[in-house]
Amino acid sequence: MTDGRPQVAPTLLYHLYRGVSPLLAPFVWRRVAGKLRDYGVAEPRVRERLGHASLPRPSGRLVWFHAASVGESLSVLTLIHRLGAADPELEFLITSGTPTSAELIAKRLPPRTRHQFPPLDTGAPVARFLRHWRPDLGIFVESELWPQMLVRARAAGVPLVLLNARLSQKSVAGWTKRHRTARFLLDQFALMLTQNSRTAENLRAMGGDPDRIREGSNLKAVSDPLPVDQATLAEVQTALGHRPVWVASSTHAGEEEVVLAAHRQLLRTHPDLCLLLAPRHPNRGDVVEALIRDAGLTLARRSTGALPEAQTQVYLADTLGEVGIWYTLCPLVFLGGSLKEIGGHNPFEVMQAGGAVLTGPGAYNFAESFAELLQIGAAQEITGAETLARAVATWRDDPHALEVARAAGRGFLTRQSDQMDKTVAALLDLLPQG
């Protein structure tokens, strides 16, 4: 069964991929199965990678979301909630490849939703998966373009959507060199919804049908806010009293030194200022504590249960799952992973808590988003300790300037939410009528 649209012919490169994939499948299976088993995943769930479902297919129409890992998987939950509210009879399936994503999704599954690991991208597992689940709509999130999964799903009559499409410039350049194969793969999609106009232009340059490309919303910008434990928030607020605070969050090795140098500069003119420092990986707490002491700064450490005192210059928040508290506590946030070539982290989590963002130049995973946020004034880019100290001082000393930045962020999120309504309508239009 096909969808009735004229089809672009498969290319030699695709045929080569299809021919080689069965030969490589045993080696790929050994690797991915080993990772899942090492994580403690039960054997029936490990076999999902071979297309063997561990759950029954629900009756009724099923919408299938395929995402790469944690961020992409969690970003679709809000959309599932909205689709489920629009049509209470819809059922949902999320596939993602990492055990971490499966674990987190399991804690936040919307009603009528289940998770499976995706089949390996080779003939038998994909066919087995499609025979069991028989999805009525397939939605691939961001840049998860698995050729056989796409081609076989379309051949089975499943309308396919590329959602929240995001492609790096390197990826675009690579696909442009393989224009015919890129055009063939993009032809599998009935609809491509991009995060922004730049990605829409890139998809057209790669051979995507302009009639099927639309600018949509960024799913991460409309995800639910991070959780906040109100008791902990109140406790830390009381401990800080009226002291001014700024936050450096999701920092990586090589970035804390810059942040601490900036804080030392700020203390010259703001002697009661407290830095709340939340490293991306809390298990680096001992290393970061040593850096703070080497910088000649006093600290209290969250993982020990300590609270900031009057003389505490740095509050080291080396715990998991509490970032939402820190963003709620203070609207002025430097977001790490951006001073080094790491790719950056999600600025929308800061904005959803009402904050404004400072970023370094290395946030390439969010390049298109930051380009717009910088343009509208919801974010500022810094390059080192001096520019970071100057930006923090400006926003701390000028509440109006900080509020303008926060308002720009709120406006951005509102526009993304409005776009989400259009996304829901477009997806419902593609679903076959029940």
Residue 357 β-bridge partners = 333, 379
HSE-CB of 293 using CA atoms within 13 angstroms: 8
Eight-class DSSP state of 218: -
Answer yes or no: are the C-beta atoms of 366 and 386 closer than 8 Å: no
Residue type, 353: A
C-alpha distances out from residue 19 to 12, 122, 148, 246, 404, Å: 10, 9, 11, 55, 57
Residue type, 114: R
Q: Among the options 72, 91, 144, 349, which is catalytic? A: 72
Report phi then psi at 165, rounded to 5: -50, 130
Catalytic, 256? Answer no
Report phi then psi at 196, rounded to 5: -165, 175
Residues 6+ apart with CB under 8 A from 147: 14, 17, 18, 121, 185
Q: What is the token pair recorded at 101?
A: 């994503």
Q: Compute the distance between CA of residue 84 and CA of residue 110 in angstroms, rounded to an integer.
A: 9
Residues 6+ apart with CB under 8 A from 251: 259, 277, 278, 279, 280, 288, 336, 337
Residue 33: alpha-carbon gap to chain centroid: 25
Residues with catalytic roles: 72
